[in-house]
Amino acid sequence: MPRAAIFVSVLLMALGQAWAQVIADPSLLAEINQIKAVDNHTHVGKVVAPGESDRDFDALPCDVIEGGADTLAARADNPQFLQAWKTMYGYKYNDRDPAHVKELIAAREKVMREQGDNFPAWVLDHLGIETMLANRIAMGRGLNNPRFRWVPFDDALMSPLAADAVADTPDKKVFYEQEAKLLKTYLSQAGFTALPASLDDFVSNVVAPTLEAQKKAGAPAIKFEAAYLRPLNFGPSSSAADETEARRIYAQYAKGGQGPRTEVLRVQNFLWRVIAREAGRLGMAVHIHTGQGCGNYFDLAGSRPTELESVLDDASLRKTNFVLLHGGAGPYTHEIAVLLSKPNVYADFSEQDALLPARPVSAVIREWLEWYPEKVLYGTDLAPGAPQQDWDVIGYSTNQTARQALAIALTGMINDKEITRERALQLARMVLRGNAMKLYQIH
């Protein structure tokens, strides 16, 4: 054959293979859709009374800062939101006419009244989710064990000192104010009206009892949103000199005053490791936000997963399991694939299935599965919103994206003869439920 013909033939074959990789095998997708999932990361809403609001869904809610741009998939015209309305609430239209949306909201409110406190579980049934990890300040009506497992926020325990020197953007200033409010709650629950005078007292009488109470309440993990507050580089393992210096700095500023950035971060670094170590002792995993975040001032470089290497390689923390939430969403997903080699590191693709459609998410999932499939977790990152696009509708969309992406990834691996169809279903069950059940000892 002429060289040009050979080139065209090879190119067409390559394009055919690439096209096949982005089309999920229908029968495989159908089986994946039947798997009852364990959702690793959500900000699920509780059932509220008329006139009541729910602000416990996030310690650092994005709606308290200047809003950033939405990706195409996250915008209100995503066709999957329309499909959610039809599937869950019998929406009869193919448009978003305001009059029709009013009918939708009325239909949803009717279901909520009929379901009462069972509404969150009703949503889970429609999404094919068996167990949901609820990342919230506190649980509430309808969010009951065993279907909902609490994942509390503990950045406030890392931030006892005034952090004006660290709050170098408008967003961070607002977020540190939110953490100060939560710290007051933790102090009050521990019987304090102000910070204990010494760092050792703070650890013994506030940090440790708070984590123990969270464990007793059934939390399988705790959560850090530290990337919204500061870079994820928590420095090298603490030496005796570092601990002595942290005690000095804490004692100097515990009663007030503004410490310089380096000193505030030094105390935070020390406390972060203390909290992570205590969580591991109690058998709770540590969830950490990595990758893209909300707002117009988010420090993407500071959220880079490899910033955590000194923590992930810390021998004193090897009994603590770390889950890198969102899997470095954006530019850092490749780094996650390799970090999964560490024995106590896991990652989920939550947020990615909210920001992007199935095809690009499938490429991330496939890469991770080709590295360390035992470490990959499913997550929807659903969160509250307007009635027509509340956590249930967002969850429907991200769940559809996640399962479609998983099916595309596995189909490509089958087509390339990397795995058998039987192995593909085994991997799907691992990602959707098995890996999380093992990590969190869910029975």
Average pLDDT of the chain, as a whole number: 94
Task: Reply yes or no on whether the pLDDT at 337 is more than 50.
Answer: yes
For range 384-403, the mean pLDDT: 98
pLDDT, residue 440, reads 98
Task: Reply yes or no on whether the pLDDT at 105 is more than 50.
Answer: yes
Dihedrals phi, psi of 134, to nearest 5 degrees:
-105, 105
Angle at 224 between CA 223 and CA 229, to 5 degrees: 155
CA distance 237 to 313: 9
Comparing C-alpha atoms, which of 207, 325, 323, 321 is closest to residue 274? 207
pLDDT, residue 4, reads 44
Comparing C-alpha atoms, which of 399, 409, 364 is closest to residue 378? 399
Token pair 């029709």 is found at 100
DSSP element (H, E) containing 347: strand 345-348
pLDDT, residue 311, reads 96
- The alpha-carbon radius of gyration of the chain (Å, integer) is 23
CA distance 74 to 319: 37
Task: For residue 109, give both structure tokens.
Answer: 């409110």
CATH of the domain at 253: 3.20.20.140
Compute CA distances 223 → 142, 323, 329, whole Å: 21, 9, 17
Residues 6+ apart with CB under 8 A from 274: 203, 207
For range 11-16, the mean pLDDT: 38
For range 58-66, the mean pLDDT: 96
285-322, pLDDT tens digit by residue? 999 999 999 999 999 999 999 999 999 999 999 999 99
Amino acid at 395: G
pLDDT, residue 69, reads 94
Task: Reply yes or no on whether the pLDDT at 22 is more than 80.
Answer: no
Token pair 């893209």 is found at 292
Confidence of residue 233 (pLDDT cuts 50, 70, 90): very high
For range 15-40, the mean pLDDT: 82
Q: Are 267 and 245 in contact (CB under 8 A)?
A: no
Q: Are 209 and 190 in contact (CB under 8 A)?
A: yes
pLDDT, residue 239, reads 86
CA distance 71 to 354: 9
Residues 6+ apart with CB under 8 A from 413: 366, 369, 370, 419, 424
Q: How many CB atoms lie within 10 A of CB 327?
A: 31
CA distance 351 to 438: 22
pLDDT, residue 300, reads 97
Task: Reply yes or no on whether the pLDDT at 237 is more than 90.
Answer: no
Task: Reply yes or no on whether the pLDDT at 1 is more than 50.
Answer: no
- Total number of domains in the chain: 1
CA distance 324 to 285: 11
Compute CA distances 10 → 5, 19, 22, 66, 190, whole Å: 9, 14, 19, 50, 68
Compute CA distances 122 → 53, 117, 126, 129, 411, whole Å: 20, 9, 7, 10, 31
DSSP 135-194: E-SS--TT--TTTEEEE-B-HHHH--S--TTT--SHHHHHHHHHHHHHHHHHHHHTT-SS
CA distance 416 to 351: 28
pLDDT, residue 153, reads 98
Token pair 């399962």 is found at 403
- Pure H helices in 340-385: 352-355, 358-371
153-182, pLDDT tens digit by residue? 999 999 999 999 999 999 999 999 999 999
112-126, pLDDT tens digit by residue? 999 999 999 999 999
290 alpha-carbon distance from chain centroid: 9
Domain assignment of residue 316, given as a range: 3-440
Task: Reply yes or no on whether the pLDDT at 135 is more than 70.
Answer: yes
pLDDT, residue 238, reads 81
pLDDT, residue 19, reads 44
For range 372-396, the mean pLDDT: 98
**β partners of residue 285:** 221
Task: Reply yes or no on whether the pLDDT at 6 is more than 50.
Answer: no
Task: Reply yes or no on whether the pLDDT at 367 is more than 50.
Answer: yes
174-227, pLDDT tens digit by residue? 999 999 999 999 999 999 999 999 999 999 999 999 999 999 999 999 999 999
DSSP element (H, E) containing 290: strand 285-291
